[in-house]
Amino acid sequence: MGKIKVVHYVNQFFAGIGGEEKADQTPFKQDGTMPIGAQIEKAMQAINADVEIVGTVVCGDSYFNENLETAKAAVLDMIKSYEPDLFIAGPAFNAGRYGVACGTITTEVQEVLGIPVLTGMYKENPGADMYKNKVYVVPTKDSAAGARDAIKKMAPLAVKLATGAEIEASCVDNYMPNGIRKNFFETKRGSERAVEMMIKKLAGKEFVTEFPMPDFDRVDPNPAVKDMAHARVALVTSGGVVPKGNPDHIESSSASKYGEYSIAEFDDLTSETHETAHGGYDPVYCNQDSDRVLPVDVMREFEKAGRIGKLHEYFYTTTGNGTAVLNAVAFAKEFSQKLVAAGVDAVVLTST
């Protein structure tokens, strides 16, 4: 790889034009670096000599935020003109409009130009929450007094991004957690970390959880079905019931697919006809009689007795064991449409 060309974005203040009174500065570009860019360049060169900030694009914070579309387009054109390999914006510290501008423009450059991008700001800068899951955002102190520290963190990550090196976990490569969990090796084993965390927690000192609790997507139940006697009811399971032999090779854990199978011919599932693919529970009882997980026998009795209208011809099945929630959501989005299209009124969803 030849010289790594970098374009840097700063606001009016870091371009040396002025403070708030110059925040309406329209976008312009200048070859080479501004002072803070020179420091970033120097820090990157200390890691990889073949890096150069070829141009700096400047825009006033008010102008950018008040003329978002035109400013974005103008700034993007200027960046593009340098044909950079990497784009860096900021760091913005705790300057709110600057942070939002840095987040907006890095996201735009990443999407439109398809090159790696990086910015930095204080964790409470509104731009952080808006963009940390979209682009790499390095956490900085809340004022420019923290520039040296910010550059020390940004430069190595910038070089990694520019050279296509694998980006490691957020705490290793110093970016804000971005919703993508990555494995890495700590210096101490987990039990020792737990004891240390406990001592801090007991002493009322600050501690950092290794996994912040997520906000759960809770689904409210639909209103009750009023007329079950005429309802078409389908069976869906995450208990891994499949036709004997698991024809679609649904995984025993971490399912990447679901199955759709007809039960039109069955009044009762037996060890001859069905089994479970699920590796997360004792499979013996389900393999003996899969009605225990997918109650076809009882549903047929209900159907005959007129307690439900009709048992839907197909059932949908996957393995819940270790399956990523996003996979499960994708499966359900797809087969829910099929259920709706088939006129299904209600679903009995069994888990294990």
Partner 1 sequence: MKLELGYIKISDIQLSNESKVENGVLYVNPEDIINLIKEDENIATVAVDVARPGESVRITPVKDVIEPRVKVEGPGSIFPGVIGKVNRVGEGRTHVLKGAAVVTTGRIVGFQEGIIDMSGEGAKYTPFSQTMNLVVTCEPVDGLRPHEHEKAIRFAGLKTAVFLGELGRNVEPDEVETFETLNVKEGIEKYPNLPRVAYVQMLQSQGLMHDTYVYGVDAKRTLSTIIMPTEVMDGAILSGNCVSSCDKNTTYHHLNNPVIADLFKAHGKTLNFAGMIITNENVYLADKERSSDWAAKLCQYLGVDGAIVSQEGFGNPDTDLIMNAKKIETVGVKTVIITDEYAGRDGKSQSLADADPLANAVVTGGNANMVIHLPKMDKVIGHINFVDTIAGGFDGSLHEDGTIEAELQIITGATNELGFNKLSAR
Backbone angles phi, psi at 121, to 5 degrees: -165, 170
> Coil, strand or helix: which one is 145?
helix
Stretch that binds partner 1, among 22-30, 70-78, 197-205, 304-312 (CB under 8 A): 197-205
Per-residue tokens: 216:
């759960």
Nearer to partner 1 among residue 326 and residue 341 (C-beta): 326
One residue of 45, 252, 273, 350 binding partner 1 per CB under 8 A: 252
d(CA 95, CA 190): 38
72 contacts 183 by C-beta, under 8 angstroms: no
Q: Is 280 in the site for partner 1 (CB under 8 A)?
A: yes
Selected from 166, 209, 220, 222, the binder of partner 1 by CB under 8 A is 209
Query: Does residue 3 touch partner 1 according to CB under 8 A?
Result: no
Beta-bridged to residue 275, according to DSSP, are: 242
Task: Identify the bridge partners of residue 239 per DSSP, sorted by sequence position.
Answer: 319
C-alpha–C-alpha distance, residues 122 and 126, integer Å: 9
Residue 39 in the binding site for partner 1 (CB under 8 A):
no
Integer-rounded Cα radius of gyration of the chain: 28
Residues in the chain: 352
Fill in the per-residue mask, 131 to 170: x = in contact with partner 1 (CB under 8 A), - = not in contact: --------------------------------------xx
Handedness of CA 172, 173, 174, 177 (dihedral sign): negative
Number of residues that bind partner 1 (CB under 8 A): 57
Pick the binder of partner 1 from 190, 206, 226, 333 (CB under 8 A): 190
Cβ-in-10-Å burial (0-12, 13-18, 19+) of 122 comes to buried
- Report how far residue 296's alpha carbon sits from residue 289's, in angstroms, rounded to the nearest whole number: 11
Give the residue, chosen from 3, 164, 184, 229, that forms a contact with partner 1 under the rule CB under 8 A: 184
Work out whether 249 is an interface residue with partner 1 (CB under 8 A).
yes
Binder among 92, 283, 299, 316 for partner 1 (CB under 8 A)? 283
Least distance (Å) from partner 1 to the CB of residue 208?
A: 9
The tokens of 147 are what? 């520039």
DSSP state of 317: E
Among the listed residues 181, 205, 226, 333, the single contact to partner 1 using CB under 8 A: 181
Nearest distance in Å: CB 86, partner 1? 23
Q: Which two tokens stand for residue 116?
A: 């790696």
When binding is defined by CB under 8 A, the residue of 18, 164, 179, 245 that contacts partner 1 is: 179
Name the one range near partner 1 by CB under 8 A: 57-65, 152-160, 198-206, 336-344.
Answer: 198-206
Part of the chain binding partner 1 (CB under 8 A), chosen from 21-29, 92-100, 153-161, 323-331: 323-331
- The answer, yes or no, to whether the previous bond of 221 is cis (omega within 30 of 0) is no
Minimum separation from the CB atom of position 70 to partner 1 (A):
34
Tokens of 159: 């070089």
By the criterion CB under 8 A, which residues form the site for partner 1? 169-172, 177, 179-195, 197-199, 201-203, 207, 209-214, 216, 249, 251-254, 256, 279-284, 320-327, 352
